[in-house]
Amino acid sequence: MNGIIGDIISMSVNDGPGIRTSVYLKGCPLRCAWCHNPEMQRPHPQAMVLPSRCTHCGSCQNCPSGARGKAGVYDSSRCTGCGLCASVCPSEACRVIGTSMSAGDVLRRVLPDKPFFRRRGGVTISGGEPLFQADFVLELAGLLSENGIGVMLETCGCAPWEAIEPLLPLIDCFLYDWKITDPEVHRKWTGTDNRLIRENLKTLHGCGANIVLRCPVIPGVNDTPSHFEGIARLLRDLPDIRRVDLLPYHALGNDKRTQLGLARDGFHSPSEETVLSWHRQLSVLCPVPVFL
């Protein structure tokens, strides 16, 4: 079967140990207000337009779905990802995110990177939410494992347990997002509550999976003592989680939002001092090391 791949990036070092190749899958059940990969939310291919390169030449006005209008206006909700705009754009302002690839295609793209993985590295499947394409992830992870490549999965955990369970023998480590402790606040900022996410995390922990808890901290959303205490409580309940990654909000998603024709997310990057303060608070509360 084929998956819709948003991007494949070699030499990734922030998504797990060693040198990794990150495979980004499109589609996500959440709509986090601060999402830094908004182009990965929708499951199908879509165009992105770099405003600084667009000369408003009008070459892309003949968009069959009407997503590209005059004067460079872009309505991404109408984009079908056909790629016509990218093919005619003389200044390379348009590009299409999302390619249909089989697991074998991805493997062929990844295999040449294998010598760089050595003992530590491997592939990190990310997104979007990779479990949005759970069958594809299962096939891909299986194929990678068969080829001696370690696999990590970066997930928000919002998927049926049935999608996660078969992956257990194939995934070296789950990079598991924990965004907001309170279910209703979670719903407010991501579009869904966190009950399934919490359940899956507990079950995953119960199965003995290797888990790194990844906690985005967004000013004005979850930079609260109650959420930090919630993280610590969760870790005390799930003692086999050995590490927390603190992911402070950054504004890079806004750049992509602009390229998708969306409004900015309205958040502001925290100062270095604030980030260090979060790190100190969490480090005091949590029973495991917190990495920044």
Partner 1 sequence: MRGYYSWDDCHLEDSLSVEFRYTQVYREYTGTSLPLRELKCLEVALPAAAAPIQEGDLLVGRRVFRPLGVAPSYWNDDWNGLDNVSFYADFGRLERVMNRPSQTEERRAAIAELIAFWEKENVNGKVRAKFDETMRREMPSDLWSSESGVIFGLYRLVFSQLDYDKLVRLGLPGLKKETKTRMDDASLSEDQRAFLAALSSLVDLLLSILARYESDLQALLRDGADPAWLRPILDSLSRLQSGPPQTFRDALQLVWFYSAMAGGRDFGRMDVYLGDLYTQGLAQGSLSEEDAIALLLSFYRLMLDSDSRDGRIVMGGMGRRNPENADRVSLAIMKAGMRFRELKPEFSLRVYKGLSKEVMDLALSMLEDGMTYPLLFNDEASVCAVQNTMHVSPGEAEQYGFFGCGEYVLGHRSIGTPNDIINLAKALEVTLHQGTDPIRNCPHGLDLGAPEDFDTFEKLMDAYQKQVEYFTEIAARHQRLVYDTVRENGVMLMMSLLMDDCVARAKPLVSGGVRYLAGTYETYGNTTVADSLTAIREVVYEKKLLSLRELVNILDADFEGHESLRRRLLGCPKFGNDDPVADEMARRVNTHVFQTTARQAQVQGLSSYLVVMINNGANVDLGRFTLATADGRHAGTYLSNGNNPMAGMDHSGLPAMLRSVASTRMDLTAGTAQNLKLSRTLFTKHPDAVEDLIRTAFDLGILSLNISVMDRGEMEDAMIHPELHQNLFVRVGGFSARFVNLDPGTQADMLSRALY
Size of the site for partner 1 (CB under 8 A): 42
Question: How far is residue 72's CA from residue 62's CA, in Å, rounded to a whole number?
Answer: 12
Is residue 12 a contact residue for partner 1 (CB under 8 A)?
Answer: yes
Amino acid found at 164: I
Binding mask 154-193 for partner 1 (x = CB under 8 A): x---------------------------------------
Is residue 73 a contact residue for partner 1 (CB under 8 A)?
Answer: no
Compute CA distances 152 → 32, 147, 188, 209, 287, whole Å.
22, 15, 29, 11, 23
Would you say 265 and 33 are in contact if contact means Cβ atoms under 8 Å apart?
A: yes
Spacing of C-alpha 194 from chain mean position: 17
Nearest Cα residue to 217 out of 39, 32, 37:
32
Is residue 255 a contact residue for partner 1 (CB under 8 A)?
Answer: yes
Q: Which residue's structure tokens are 């799930």?
A: 238
Nearer to partner 1, 126 or 181 (CB): 126
Binding mask 103-142 for partner 1 (x = CB under 8 A): ---------xx-xxxx-xx----x----------------
Residue 225 tokens read as 């003592």
Which member of 27, 130, 216, 261 binds partner 1 (CB under 8 A)?
216
Nearer to partner 1, 118 or 280 (CB): 118
Nearer to partner 1, 39 or 139 (CB): 39
Query: Which part of the chain contacts partner 1 (CB under 8 A), choosing from 12-20, 132-140, 178-186, 280-288?
Result: 12-20
Is residue 17 a contact residue for partner 1 (CB under 8 A)?
Answer: yes
Nearer to partner 1, 65 or 99 (CB): 99
Nearest distance from C-beta of residue 228 to partner 1, angstroms: 17
Residue 189 tokens read as 């900022």
Residue 127 tokens read as 């997104």
Q: Which residue's structure tokens are 């908004």?
A: 38
Is residue 251 a contact residue for partner 1 (CB under 8 A)?
Answer: yes
Residue 99's contacts (CB-CB under 8 Å, 6 or more residues apart) are 4, 5, 45
Is residue 263 a contact residue for partner 1 (CB under 8 A)?
Answer: no
DSSP code, position 288: S
3-state secondary structure of 178: coil
Nearest distance from C-beta of residue 171 to partner 1, angstroms: 17
Is residue 68 a contact residue for partner 1 (CB under 8 A)?
Answer: no
- Residue 61: is it exposed, middle or buried by C-beta count within 10 angstroms (0-12/13-18/19+)? middle
Site of interaction with partner 1 (CB under 8 A)? 9-15, 17-19, 21-22, 36-37, 50-52, 90, 112-113, 115-118, 120-121, 126, 154, 214, 216, 245, 247-248, 250-252, 254-255, 258-259, 269, 272
